[in-house]
């Protein structure tokens, strides 16, 4: 039974994905053998360090804090970014006004936002939320603007000609098109949210995975550092697979069979 389950689980694309991960692990192990424990602890040593973090009770609260920081900032960025982007897509003056602002904000290095928000909000959790929101928001804004701007004029005219109510027009004419721009951007924005959140925590020392990383660095504990990195990557993958991917698939069933899409 179990054998059959695993055979099915690792069939097709998954088999290649597993092969890719195995290759990285093999390289990691090889690197460890060449450079030694201090520079690159082995995967096993990292796993042991991860186990120790779990047993010491450091892992759970850190994950919770980082998740809160990343997702709260991401949520604020998504709400404000897509709202303003949606409006800017429909209004030329608003777009002309907001686009340079967004470009400017994208140009500011994320680490600069972290430093500024630490000066403004101190060591409170708000610093991380703010850094994430302001670093990620412009990305969402740009995608929402582009999506709304390129909604098919013919479809809009068609909906108007049949006197379809506004809320249906928004949901059935605008949303599906805008989402094809927005969802990939949200995936990228989410990944960036974790990175910026960890960065902010590292400097603020107010808990979270970043704080753990700072402590591991202070103690020159490479294995523990690697363990934290593994945690961040795992979190990112889990959220991507559990949230973004299903949402994308739900909204894009109609694309099946289009040229260039999977059947």
Residues 6+ apart with CB under 8 A from 98: 84, 88, 141, 145
What's the CA gap between 81 and 72, in Å, rounded? Answer: 14
Residue 176 corresponds to which tokens in the numbers above? 């599906």
Binding mask 233-262 toward other proteins (x if CB under 8 A, else -) reads ---------------------x--xx----
Least Å distance, CB 166 to other proteins, is 10
Contact pattern for other proteins over residues 143 through 172, marking x by CB under 8 A: ---------x-xx-xxxxxxxxx--x---x
Instruction: Report, in Å, the least distance between residue 250 CB and other proteins.
Output: 11
In the chain, DSSP finds a helix count (H) and a strand count (E) of: 13, 0
CB closer to other proteins, 61 vs 176: 176
- Name the nearest CA neighbour of 106 among 206, 218, 189: 189
**Using CB under 8 A, which of 77, 173, 198, 227 touches other proteins?**
173
Q: Classify residue 254 by burial, with Cβ atoms within 10 Å: 0-12, 13-18, 19+.
A: exposed
Give the C-alpha separation, 31 to 19, whole Å: 18
CB closer to other proteins out of 38 and 250: 250
**What mask, x for binding other proteins by CB under 8 A, covers residues 174 to 193?**
--x-----------------
Which of 101, 258 has the CB closer to other proteins?
Answer: 258
Q: What span, in angstroms and rounded, lies between the C-alpha atoms of 142 and 211?
A: 32
Give the footprint of other proteins on this chain (CB under 8 A): 152, 154-155, 157-165, 168, 172-173, 176, 254, 257-258
């Amino acid at each position: 039974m179990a054998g059959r389950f695993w055979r099915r689980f690792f069939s097709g694309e998954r088999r290649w994905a597993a092969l890719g991960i195995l290759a990285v692990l093999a390289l990691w192990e090889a690197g460890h053998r060449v450079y030694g424990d201090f520079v690159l602890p082995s995967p096993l040593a990292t796993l042991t360090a991860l186990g120790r973090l779990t047993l010491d009770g450091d892992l759970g609260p850190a994950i919770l804090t980082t998740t809160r920081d990343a997702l709260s900032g991401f949520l604020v960025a998504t709400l404000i970014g897509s709202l303003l982007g949606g409006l800017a897509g429909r209004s030329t003056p608003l777009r002309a006004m907001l686009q340079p602002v967004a470009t400017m904000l994208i140009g500011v290095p994320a680490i600069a936002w972290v430093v500024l928000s630490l000066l403004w909000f101190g060591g409170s959790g708000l610093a991380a939320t703010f850094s994430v929101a302001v670093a990620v928001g412009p990305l969402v804004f740009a995608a929402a603007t582009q999506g709304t701007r390129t909604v098919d004029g013919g479809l809009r005219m068609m909906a108007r000609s049949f006197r379809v109510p506004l809320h249906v027009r928004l949901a059935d004419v605008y949303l599906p098109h805008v989402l094809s721009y927005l969802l990939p951007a949200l995936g990228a924005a989410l990944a960036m949210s974790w990175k910026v959140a960890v960065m902010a925590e590292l400097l603020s020392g107010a808990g979270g995975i970043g704080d753990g990383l700072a402590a591991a660095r202070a103690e020159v504990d490479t294995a523990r550092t690697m363990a934290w990195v593994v945690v961040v990557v795992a979190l990112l993958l889990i959220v991507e697979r559990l949230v973004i991917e299903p949402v994308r698939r739900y909204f894009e069933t109609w694309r099946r069979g289009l040229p260039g899409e999977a059947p």
